Amino acid sequence: MNVETMIYYKTEEQIETMRHSALLVSGTLAEVAKILKPGLKTIDIDRLIGSIIKDHGGIPSFLNFHGYPFNSCISVNDVVVHGFPNKEELKEGDIVSIDIGVFKNGYHGDHAYTFMIGKPSDEIVKLVKITKESLYKGIEKAVAGNRIGDVAFAIQEHTEKKNGYGVVRELVGHGLGKSMHEDPQVPNYGKRGSGTVMKEGLVIAIEPMINMGKKEVYTEDDGWTVRTKDGKPSVHFEHDVCIRKGKADVLSNYSEIEKAEKENQALFSDY
């Protein structure tokens, strides 16, 4: 079967509906950014996330997805993705990736942001910076006429080839729409000019998952939590992106998250 037959292109009306779902994720992440601090339990963050989504007429996409038991994925330090919220307290210097999905008006929004708690080491600050930059390098290539491999190559070049980080192979970005995971898959490594040709109206989640050390990961016995094999930190950023001619249309928005993050970090500037 031609892979194109599995790809669902969206109308302008559907894209705007998806933008609404994506922005509810962004707004929820911004609210979380306001309260992050050492001593906070990730299970309490998850409960807040569930409340915000429901208060705005949405449904947490992750809750009960293939049996996943929480509203969000909260991954601390060496947890790459799919971390279970729990009663452990966040500590000074931790990094925490918060991945949220929202289902509203028939469409999903799904993206993630990695936060720094207090003042992490310079090594970690650099890993966060480079991973976030790589997301935008990938988005630059997410335009009509380019191929998925162009996005993948841009991310891999910035993280692995230029900075020596490990690019996770087992987990990839994906199409997004009425289902949370649609075709095509969007890897964070690959060759320029390879893969599916991107056309206008395709919506994808681009999500670099980058390890400070080696690329290898493993899944814990809970069947969900993915950790780095070498125990070194991992960073995860994700945007929802609609393919357009000339320039990608980013449906999600980090600006309010970044504003709250800066205000939070200012609290630690005198330490």
So what CATH class is 3-266?
alpha beta
Domain definitions of the chain by residue range = 3-266
Q: Are strands 182-186 and 173-175 parallel, antiparallel or unpaired?
A: antiparallel
pLDDT at 266 (0 to 100): 77
The pair of three-digit structure tokens given for residue 32, joined into one six-digit string:
């979380």
The per-residue pLDDT for 5 is 54
Cis-peptide into 208, omega within 30 deg: no
Map 84-147 to HEC letters.
Answer: CCCCCECCCCCEEEEEEEEEECCEEEEEEEEEECCCCCHHHHHHHHHHHHHHHHHHHCCECCCE
Q: Which amino acid is at 157?
A: E
The C-alpha atoms of residue 69 and residue 82 are separated, in whole angstroms, by 11
Please tell me the predicted confidence (pLDDT) of residue 86.
Answer: 97
pLDDT tens track for 43-93: 999 999 999 999 999 999 999 999 999 999 999 999 999 999 999 999 999
Which pLDDT does position 82 carry in this prediction?
Answer: 97
The pLDDT of residue 267 is 73
The stretches in the chain having pLDDT less than 70 are 1-5, 268-271
CB atoms within 10 A of CB 121: 12
Structure confidence at residue 268 (pLDDT): 64
pTM of the model: 0.96
What local confidence, expressed as pLDDT, does residue 2 receive?
A: 40
